[in-house]
A and B are shown apart, each in its own frame.
Chain A
Amino acid sequence: MPEWLASETALVGELVGGQAAAWDVAGELPVELLRKLGAQGVLCAEVPAAYGGLNATSHDNGEFTAYVGSLCSSLRSIMTSQGIAAYAIQRLGDREQRKRYLADLTGGQLAAVGFSEPAAGSDLAAMQTQIRAEGDSFVIDGQKKWVTGARYADLLLVLGLFGEGAAFAVVPTTTPGVQVELVPSPLGCRAAGHSNIRFDNVRIPASSVLGGGGQSLSLLFTTALSYGRMSIGWGCVGIVRACLNAATNHARNRSQSGKPLAEHQLIERHLAELLVAEQVSTRICQHASQCWESVSPDMVVAAVLAKHVSAGHAARSAATAVQVLASAGSQDGHVVARAYRDAKMMEIIEGSNEICQLILAQHALSTIPDNA
């Protein structure tokens, strides 16, 4: 754990305590805890100090994200959303917007980011949400689905069509015409507050459209998602670590047929696989963070790789850990039971396995020399 994030780590450890299981079962995080963490800047720790942030490096925030992910993927999902919002604002906003909104996001306000729509998941071209000029202001109409953290959010970052291009608009959840409806009983990250949102003739000032709008939809999407993929990759490292820890301890302490599980070779193989998963996912996220910190053009693909590899390892590791713990880990709320459900969702969001594979295949086709 990076030394200078030590106090933040201790704070999260103390605030979460042993409550993650209860939050999972109840399907809700205590919002006052989220605000407290938000006001400490830890939900989007990479925000530069000039904007009130902790100015964490990608590595340090990554290890911190993994730590939170090892405790509670619902809370880590909130961090991912807040971090995407902060990164998009920093990257796309003008000077005034950066100042104003990043102060909000490091001051206790919570943000959620709306990408998916009823007809537009991976298929961006099907996006229908419109942000259009009307007099001095803008009007938003449309729907967003499965918006992580929207239940708790003060600010919604909404991606929509805008003239010939697209735009991100920042919309306070209390704006007339915004309707947030909680997704009941999600498979995983049950306390992350996933919600469907309707925007019905929602009027916002022109100053809430990031950078004046009109950017390319795919570039906006890729920008925001790249941060999200880094965060999810590291969060999955946390899931794998929690599984490795739980399975190793269980194998050490539980005896069957007169000897500890750890002395049964088939169980040992599970532990070996968990260790490999922990190492591989950590290394690939470290690589992505290195690309991110050195502002390498490879950072976009490195983030896809990190997310894809870590999510796959998290899903397999969670299944392995449940297998090792068996009935001991088969109750909702248990760390490996949560991991099993949460990790599966990590193979879906921010680019499903299949979308990641398409991107990686294209990368291979465009970078491997043609030997013909």
Chain B
Amino acid sequence: MTTDQTTAALTAEAIEDALLAFLAERIKTEVAADQDLFKSGLVSSMFAMQLVVHLEETYDIAIIGPDLKLDNFRTVKAMTSLVHRVRDADDA
């Protein structure tokens, strides 16, 4: 992952694409943006923690407190909206 994704123009599409690429690389499987990663057995809670670390590092955010729910990491779409929400809250 490169740091140029942390620049201002961070569209949902850009985050989704980057996440799909990250997942494809890590779990060696193409997934859809709305696919339930846990239900499909592709991802364990151990991997969810890796996703937390990845999102924090890539998007310069801190995922803490009630945001640390598995539901926020269930799909690529859920992670994308989490990143947006936390970044917006940080900017506020």
B56 at the interface (CB under 8 A from A): yes
Name A218's contact: one of B26, B45, B64 (CB within 8 Å): B45
Interface residues on B, range: 20 to 34
Name B66's contact: one of A211, A223, A295, A359 (CB within 8 Å): A211
Q: How far is the CB of B47 from chain A (nearest CB, A)?
A: 7
In the complex, per-residue mask of A184-225: 1 if CB is within 8 Å of any chain B CB, else 0: 000000000000000000000000001111111011111100
Report B29-49 residues with CB < 8 Å from chain A CB.
Answer: 42-49
B14 at the interface (CB under 8 A from A): no
Name B69's contact: one of A215, A222, A367 (CB within 8 Å): A215
The residue in chain B whose Cβ has the minimal distance to the Cβ of A291 is: B53
Name A219's contact: one of B27, B28, B42, B49 (CB within 8 Å): B49
B70 at the interface (CB under 8 A from A): yes
A300 at the interface (CB under 8 A from B): yes
Contact A91 B28 (CB under 8 A): no
Instruction: Check A222/B46 contact, CB under 8 A, given A216-B68, A295-B53.
Output: yes
Complex Cα gap A367–B52 (Å): 18
B51 at the interface (CB under 8 A from A): yes
Contact A295 B57 (CB under 8 A): yes
A260 at the interface (CB under 8 A from B): no
Chain A residues whose C-beta falls within 8 Å of the C-beta of B57 in the assembled complex: 295-297
In the complex, per-residue mask of A352-372: 1 if CB is within 8 Å of any chain B CB, else 0: 000000010011001111100
Q: Chain A's interface: helix, strand, loop or mixed, by majority?
A: helix
Chain B residues whose C-beta falls within 8 Å of the C-beta of A366 in the assembled complex: 26-28, 42-44, 47
Chain A residues whose C-beta falls within 8 Å of the C-beta of B53 in the assembled complex: 295-297, 299-300
Complex Cα gap A205–B27 (Å): 42
In the complex, per-residue mask of A89-102: 1 if CB is within 8 Å of any chain B CB, else 0: 00111100000000
Q: Chain B's interface: helix, strand, loop or mixed, by majority?
A: helix
B54 at the interface (CB under 8 A from A): yes
A298 at the interface (CB under 8 A from B): yes
Chain A residues whose C-beta falls within 8 Å of the C-beta of B54 in the assembled complex: 297
Interface residues on A, range: 35 or more
Chain B residues whose C-beta falls within 8 Å of the C-beta of A222 in the assembled complex: 45-46, 48-49
In the complex, how many residue pairs between chain A and chain B have their CB atoms under 8 Å apart?
84
Chain A residues whose C-beta falls within 8 Å of the C-beta of B69 in the assembled complex: 165, 214-216, 219
Q: How far is the CB of A167 from chain B (nearest CB, A)?
A: 10
The residue in chain B whose Cβ has the minimal distance to the Cβ of A370 is: B28
Chain B residues whose C-beta falls within 8 Å of the C-beta of A349 in the assembled complex: none
Q: How far is the CB of B7 from chain A (nearest CB, A)?
A: 19
Instruction: Check A219/B47 contact, CB under 8 A, given A211-B65, A212-B65, A299-B53.
Output: no
A317 at the interface (CB under 8 A from B): no
B81 at the interface (CB under 8 A from A): no
A275 at the interface (CB under 8 A from B): no
In the complex, per-residue mask of A220-249: 1 if CB is within 8 Å of any chain B CB, else 0: 111100100000000000000000000000
Q: How far is the CB of A220 from chain B (nearest CB, A)?
A: 7
Q: How far is the CB of B62 from chain A (nearest CB, A)?
A: 9
Selected A-B contacts with CB under 8 Å, 13 pairs: A210-B65, A214-B66, A215-B66, A215-B68, A219-B52, A219-B69, A219-B70, A221-B45, A222-B46, A223-B49, A297-B53, A366-B27, A368-B28
Residues of B participating in the A interface, judged by any CB pair closer than 8 Å: 26-28, 42-54, 56-57, 64-66, 68-70
